[in-house]
Structure 1
Amino acid sequence: MEMSGDVVEDNHKTEESQPEEEEVPPQLLKGKEISWKKLRRFDSLDIESSSVGGHHAHGSKTVAGTVILHLAFQSIGIVYGDIGTSPLYVFASTFPNGIKHNDDILGVLSIIFYTLTLIPLVKYVFIVLRANDNGDGGTFALYSLICRYAKVGLIPSQQAEDQEVSNFQLELPSNRLKRASWLKSKLENSQFAKFFLLFATMLGTSMVIGDGVLTPCISVLSAVGGIKEATSAMSDDMIVWISVAILVLLFSAQRFGTDKVGYTFAPIICIWFAFIGGIGIFNFFKFDTTVIKALNPQYIFDYFKRNKKEAWISLGGTVLSITGTEALFADVGHFTVKSIQISMCSVIYPALILAYTGQAAFLRKHNNLIGDPFFQSIPRSLYWPVFVIAVLAAIIASQAMISGSFSIIQQSLSLGCFPRVKIVHTSAKYEGQVYIPEINYLLMLACVGVTLGFKSTARIGNAYGIAVVFVMTLTSSFLVLIMIMIWKTHILLIISYVLVIGTIELIYLSSVLYKFDQGGYLPLAFAAILMIIMYVWNDVHRSKYYYELDQKISPDKLKEVVTSTNLSQMPGLAIFYSELVQGIPPIFKHYVSNVPALHSVLVFVSIKSLPIGKVPADERFLFCRVEPYELNVYRCVVRYGYTDVRNEHEPFENLLIEKLKGFIADGEFWLSQNDLNKDDDSGEYLDEGEVDGENNEHKDVEQVDEEKRQEAIDKEIEAVNQAWGAGVVHLIGENEVVASKGASVVRRIIIDYAYNILKRNLRQSEKVFDIPHKRMLKVGMTYEL
């Protein structure tokens, strides 16, 4: 949306209520061709709140049935590799010290059955998937929904026109407003709540990245470990080194992207689920059909009664049956809600239930084979096919979590929560497939280190459980906020969700935390390192923004600088880049004080991330003219969503200038309020006869005005074309950030050391927009924060 207006000094306002629009009597409008668009003009970069017309159902897609079935098939290969390989190690991790009572198997099977039913099926498939952000899922999708509905962002860059973006609007029920408004007000007025929400988002992000480390380790190690059933000559150390070799090859292949092998994923995982489901049915009928009794939750109570503390500790093993469940939500953006629901309900859930039931039936007759029940329970004639498919399924499961880590880091960049890294888009067909070389290298080192250090799936499982349950608990916390504020769900349903799902997850969380010293510290250590990096970057990022906001150039000062007789004009177009949305950044004043010359056309470009997945291309650029108009100075806010691809198909410079000319050609800014009120300066309305008598004269005047306006527009577009032809210069602020005098020791460490180390070793800002080095000029300036 393109708007006109003057640059104002201070935009930092918050308006809880919007001013009522002045009503225009019908007598005034009759016989006049005045558009409502012109009557309701406002400065796009001045106003903090705006009325939003109409609601759009978020995440709703009209997709043909055959396409949904095709997506459901594809999702099997991308989404379910992790949860599908869980039967390799769940029972072994649950009974690390052996089975003490035969009915304990029924108790554990009952726990697995109800956990799979309540968490992946009920919570994620039927509830959490509804909380998608225009089709995108994951922790950032939930955070973005909350940020759009309540002003909880820590950087004050909100604009009225953000709500006009088609993907931005929310479908809001009209009832239960009191509770929703109360919670919204509490969040907006509490600085602690804003920091806590950002902290929780960072924690969830860190845990998912930790998942990207642990999934390859445990999946590949469990699958390769099955070879011991074929040959006793294979030692544990040999299995570890084979697993390491597979992991190194897996990470080395990441730069090619998953698109080239994507179509092989679904058939392999489908074969895997067919194997584990079929073997489960075979074992169920061959060994013990009475395990069907595990449907009775009484066996859960009996299990806890017999084993007490040991039963509670063993939950750290049963929770591994739902590893990878978060992928259901995180990957929904690549498919649709309905396709995920179909694949889960028709293939994944039944196959997993059958697999665990078959293993339980086998263990009821072979208590002593708990060390590796999956491969022990396979019929000998199927051993090698299942082993090969198991290794391939483990690799695919690892691939999905690694790709997920890349995607979530890409989203973190948009919130200023992660240092700039190189994002490589590996597929022209699938926008979400990205590769980050630096992160890939670090994940590989971490995976190899964990595999060599822990060597067993039992210890890795202790670490894995903490990462899984932490992310699930955070998702539930965000979901409750969305239920109250956005969905406005009935309070009894919210309480029921918290009591059932929340209680289960908290019990699991308490169990996995008990094994902190047995490997459980690993994901927390990963998360701590990542969160320190993210906090340092985000803290200084916010401080820089507030510094620029405080030091921005006022409109009067800008006019004084631009019209100064000491400055010489030269042909060409200059683009100044910054992140400041509310005005002209201080770096401009620093530039003109050192280079007393200005180009014939100036454009101040602010890069802004919106809390939505994607911003439509035709809604990305928001322009504003800067007074005095004859000097051709403009401001532009370029808006991106957290999954948007930047500058992949068309040079940013060309796109910006074409949009600028389109803004000028629109010509609304030439219409002043004086033009609207020519006939009513006295404040009196014309009666119907007078209006009819002046129609012809009004049309003649309007035609002359239109010709003058078009002439002025053509002249200005020609000025832009001439400046573009004379050459474009890109001016980027090269900010040196230092702690201000009197800053605390911690503040000095964060700014002077931690942040600057990260900045020196990572990607520079000009690479984000692929700015040609020959036409780039860096302007140095020191920020004391």
Structure 2
Amino acid sequence: MALETDRQDPSGTKIVGGTLKRHDSLYGDAEKVSSALHNVSQDNWFRTLRLAFQCIGVIYGDIDTSPLYVYQGTFSSGISNVDDLYGVLSIILYSIILLPMIKYVFIVLYANDNGDGGTFALYSLISRYAKVSLIPNQQAEDAMVSSYGLDTVSAPMRRAQWMKKSLESSKLAKVAIFLLSVLGTSMVISDGVLTPAISVLSAVSGLQEKAPQLKQDQIAWISAGILVVLFSVQRFGTDKVGYSFAPIILLWFLCIGGIGFYNLIKYDVGVLRAFYPKYIVDYFKRNGKDAWISLGGTLLCFTGTEAMFADLGHFNVRAVQLSFSFVLFPAVSLAYIGQAAFLRKHPEHVLDTFYKSIPGPLFWPTLIIAVSAAIIASQAMISGAFSIIQQSQTLGCFPRVKVIHTSKLYEGQVYIPEVNFVIGLLCVIITLGFQTTNDIGNAYGICVTAVMIITTILMVIVMLLIWRVSIWLIIPFCLVFGFIELVYISSVLYKFKEGGYLPIVVATLLVIMMGVWHYVHVKKYWYELEHIVTNEDMRQLIQTHDVKRISGVGFLYTELVQGISPIFPHLIEKIPFVHSVLIFVSIKHLPIPHVEISERFLFRNVESKTSRMFRCVARYGYSDKLEGAKEFAASLIEGLQSYIEEGHFITDMQIQETEDQTTSIADSNTRYHKAGSTVYIEEALTGSETTGLTQPRISSYSAHSSARISEEQSRTIAEEKQFIQRELQKGVVYILGETEIKAGPESSFVKKVVVNYMYSFLRKNFRQGEKAFAIPRQQVLKVGMVYEI
């Protein structure tokens, strides 16, 4: 196996005196995972239909309650010409068709990251095809990982090569993509704050139809009480909440669709002419600037669209496509058409169109269903906020928070208590502060259109770099969707002072928080990389300090995959004792959603084979659940024992193969891994001139077909495994680096503020390492050290 004898550069290659040396294969292998796909991609139709039913109650709770307030927001000053209803209805219908349906449901959803969606899933997907991540933990071997889904870039695909080189060579491009992703994430979270407020307020205001004595502040307090109940049930998880809500939302769809059809037949079938887009042109000619300003109201018809993408990890593409096309679109379209028909006859009721258009006997049942649907409306964006924060946290872009996986069947369903509390508190404050939907709607529109524009930009990169579709398809995608979204956002920005500032303020605070955290995270990684401890350094360190061994197993956590963290020599200098079995554990999150459990751990010996010190990389996807301390320790030790057994077998196999002179096992580019009863030897061959990457040749040797391991070796393996098991029973100590990050003395004033104050504040007020890894306090040993970056 490759030994680490010299310092590494960030790519994992060792450089000594200008000569390239063999590199530690653990660094490269840390990226290798199987080609197993996430279970969502292998769904059968029964499960897909089941998920389609569930997603009705989770991801559409926002877009399907928009009929409560769209016409009110569009005609806030009343209807001056009833013919304007043709133009507005046409804008609504084509906006729904073009943006939620064509763009998202049938294009953007396919840009998922092995089943996961959202802004950070796009960022992660792009990061796998081009080294745009600011953390230096990538290498050329990434493209050889089968489950990454990478295709070899062949010579004819010059445009994809050009895009890849442009992104990798430009620091500005990397920072820009990162900031776009962070901004999109922040806007989705802001959306999760605004959705409950506007939806519940709109529904509850229907009480004034039958109880006109109710004042607006009383409506606001009733809405706040409902919101408190809603956020308190989030802990039960999307799976249970989805099944509870889906029947209600399905009933809501039948209700608004049926009422819409009734109003269409009763009042004016002629509104169907709105499918002729000429009425859009007539509307703008007739109203000019006022028509443009009114777009801030019509865009509310597709609010919640981003939730379909952000919540994709809870469901799958087919489920969303089926439920949107055959349930949501027909019902919502009929609702808007029916309301337009009603307003043709009763334009004076535009400020409370929904409740005025309900047939008398159906008012109270509809009100109850409407309030229920409005409560559910917030579920879409709340679930999306949970998913996207979990992704950003595992990619080093968000402080540590507690992530609870609420479903054993569907891994993407999570709940974050801290985030749930903050979003719920902000929702109540906004509801009581604004009390009406007009200003909240202005703020809402900025969130929706900003996220859509960011998604369009990232989708262009995906099309160029990953999908490699024709430029003649990319151009119309940009022109059509980009133009529509820019027109919409220009309209809502016009009302910046009338509530539009709210999401900008919230998003700015989130961007600053995430940017500061990621900036220091990257700087810290670079510091440890520059002060790496090699095997040779370890030997000298142990000899110099005459290190003694104490009973038990020690897990020393480090973010480094290559080499040993500078925390270890700092520990030895203060306390020259280490545990009988010491394991340097690196938790590595790969830019993919899931890693198979069978491939979770990779091990290497440290210092020597008899030192009983090991390095372990525990690989997780950004949607994988981190186990509790007890389960993690048991799984890791089990993997370590397998590694010891395989190590002896491979060593003996090396000797035999060398004697036979059939292959050169000592080749620095040879790696070993085991699947079932077969050990695979992977040898690098000549690299492709196009990609510069090596293509592996695989040879296999059956462990059952050979009796190479002697009795003495079998006894040694058994004794080693028993020793580790005995030490495990004596106790496990988790050693965590309590690193204090400080800006260097020559740093700029801005850097000192960011590192010494802003980052320090975030670190102290979010979860510490032992809480993030669910480690019992009595088993934690913290090692204090100051990093000057």
TM-score scaled by structure 2?
A: 0.89
User: Which residue among 420, 423, 445 is the counterpart of 2:425?
Assistant: 445
1:413-432 paired onto structure 2 within 5 Å: 413-432=393-412
1:44 is the counterpart of 2:44: no
1:739 and 1:452 mapped to 2: Cα distance? 42
**Correspondence for 1:641:** 621
Task: Write the deviation string for residues 569-616 of structure 1: whole angstroms up to 9, x where unpaired.
Answer: 333322110111121000000000011122222211111111111111
Q: Give unmatched runs, 5+ long, in structure 2.
A: 14-21, 665-702
Distance 1:43 1:373, change over 3 A: same
Secondary structure at 1:627's aligned position in 2? coil
Q: 1:65 to 1:725 in 2, by over 3 A?
A: closer
* 2:68 is aligned with 1:70: no
1:411 aligns with 2:391: yes
Matched, 1:508 2:488: yes
Pairing 1:779–2:783 present:
yes
8 Å CA contact 1:165–1:619 kept in 2: the answer is no
Tell me if structure 2 keeps the 8 A contact 1:8–1:46. Answer: no
3-state secondary structure, aligned to 2:206: helix
Equivalent position amino acid for 1:770 in 2 = A
Aligned partners of 1:73 and 1:343 also within 8 Å:
yes
* Corresponding residue of 1:286: 266
**1:194/1:748 CA distance change after superposition, 3 Å:** same
* Aligned counterpart, 1:692: none
Contact 1:57 1:171 (8 Å CA) reproduced: no
The 1-side partners of 2:582 and 2:32 are apart by 31
1:131 aligned onto 2:116: no
Q: Give the 3-state SS of the residue equivalent to 1:372 in structure 2.
A: helix
| RMSD of aligned residue pairs (Cα, Å) | 2.6
Cα displacement string for residues 125-154 of structure 1 (whole angstroms, at most 9, x for unaligned residues)? 111111111111111211111011111111
1:497 to 477, 496, 503: 477
**Identity over aligned pairs, percent:** 52
Give distance in 1, aligned partners of 2:612 and 2:32: 30
Amino acid at match of 1:179: R
Is the 1:608–1:638 contact (alpha carbons within 8 Å) kept by the matching residues of 2? yes
C-alpha deviations, 1:17-40, integer Å up to 9, x for none?
Answer: xxxxxxxxxxxxxxxxxxxxxxxx
CA contact (8 A) 1:7 1:45 kept: no
User: Which structure would you say has the larger RCO, counting Cα contacts within 8 Å and 6 or more residues apart?
Assistant: 1
What is the match of residue 721 of structure 1? 725
Q: Deviations over 1:697-752 (max 9, x none)?
A: xx9xx856655654443343234234323432221111112221121111111111
Deviations 1:190-236 (A, max 9, x none): 11111111111111111111011100000000000111111221222
**Worse overlay, 482-491 or 170-179:** 170-179
Give the alignment partner of residue 658 of structure 2, picking from 666, 677, 689: 677
- Asked if 1:659 corresponds to 2:639, the answer is yes
SS of the residue 1:612 aligns to: coil
Alpha-carbon spacing, 1:63–1:45, altered in 2? closer, same or farther (3 Å): closer
Which residue number in structure 2 is paired with residue 750 of structure 1?
Answer: 754
1:288 and 1:713, CA in 2 relative to 1: closer, same or farther beyond 3 A? same
Do the aligned residues in 2 keep the contact of 1:109 with 1:294 (CA within 8 Å)?
yes
Q: In 2, Cα distance between the equivalents of 1:158 and 1:77? A: 40
Cα distance, 1:634 vs structure 2:
1.0
Question: In 2, are the aligned partners of 1:150 and 1:188 still within 8 Å (CA)?
Answer: yes
**Could you say what secondary structure the match of 1:79 adopts?**
coil
For 1:606 and 1:712, locate their aligned partners in 2 and report how far apart those are by CA, in whole Å: 28
Gap change, CA 1:718 and 1:528, over 3 Å in 2? same
**Alignment partner, residue 212 of structure 2:** 232
> Residue 12 of structure 1: which of 10, 22, 30 is its match?
10
Instruction: Tell me the CA shift for residue 164 of structure 1.
Output: 6.6
- Equivalent residues, number: 740
Q: How many Å separate the matches in 1 of 2:455 and 2:746? A: 40
Distance in 2, matches of 1:385 and 1:141, equals 40
Q: Provide the C-alpha distance between the structure 2 equivalents of 1:761 and 1:724, rounded to a whole number of angstroms.
A: 33
Q: Which residue of 1 aligns with 2:697?
A: none
**In the TM superposition, what is the alpha-carbon distance from 1:283 to its structure 2 partner?**
0.7
Tell me if structure 1 keeps the 8 A contact 2:271–2:337.
yes
Conserved? CA contact 1:604–1:634, under 8 Å: yes
8 Å contact from structure 1 (residues 623, 663) kept in 2: yes
Give the alignment of 1:362-381 within 5 angstroms: 362-381=342-361
Could you tell me how far 1:159 is from its partner in structure 2? 5.4
> Any residues of structure 2 matched to 1:704-743 within 5 Å, and which?
709-743=713-747
Q: In structure 1, what is the Cα distance between the partners aligned to 2:30 and 2:628?
A: 32
Distance 2:431 2:257 in 1: 29
Letter in 1 for 2:651: W
Distance change >3 Å, CA 745–CA 672, structure 1 → 2: farther
Which of 523, 529, 539 pairs up with 1:549?
A: 529
Alpha-carbon contact 1:240-1:451 (below 8 Å) kept: yes
Query: Which residue matches 1:324?
Result: 304
Contact 1:7 1:625 in 2 (8 A): no
Contact 1:58 1:171 in 2 (8 A): no
Identify the range of structure 1 (549-558 vs 42-51) with the bigger mean alpha-carbon deviation: 42-51
Distance 1:174 1:67, change over 3 A: farther
Question: Cα offset for 1:561?
Answer: 1.6
Q: Contact between 2:445 and 2:492, CA under 8 Å: does it hold in 1?
A: yes
- Whether the aligned pair in 2 keeps the contact of 1:359 and 1:377 (CA below 8 Å) is yes
Q: In 2, are the aligned partners of 1:154 and 1:194 still within 8 Å (CA)?
A: yes
- 1:695-706 equivalence runs, <5 A: none
* Displacement after TM superposition at 1:6 (Å): 4.0
The answer to whether the 8 Å contact 1:577/1:732 transfers is: yes
Asked if 2 retains the 8 angstrom alpha-carbon contact of 1:670 and 1:709, the reply is no
Q: CA offsets, 1:331-376, max 9 Å, x none?
A: 2222221121111111111111111111111111111111111111
**Residue type of the partner of 2:753?**
I
From 593, 596, 606, give the equivalent of 1:613: 593
Superposition TM-score, scaled by structure 1 size = 0.89
- The correspondence for 2:505, drawn from 521, 525, 528, is 525
**C-alpha deviations, 1:214-268, integer Å up to 9, x for none?**
0000000000011111122122222111111211222233334444443221110
Cross-structure match for 2:581: 601
> Cα gap change, 1:308/1:565 in structure 2, threshold over 3 Å: closer, same or farther?
closer
Local SS of the residue matching 1:651 = helix
Pairwise CA distance, 1:439? 1.9
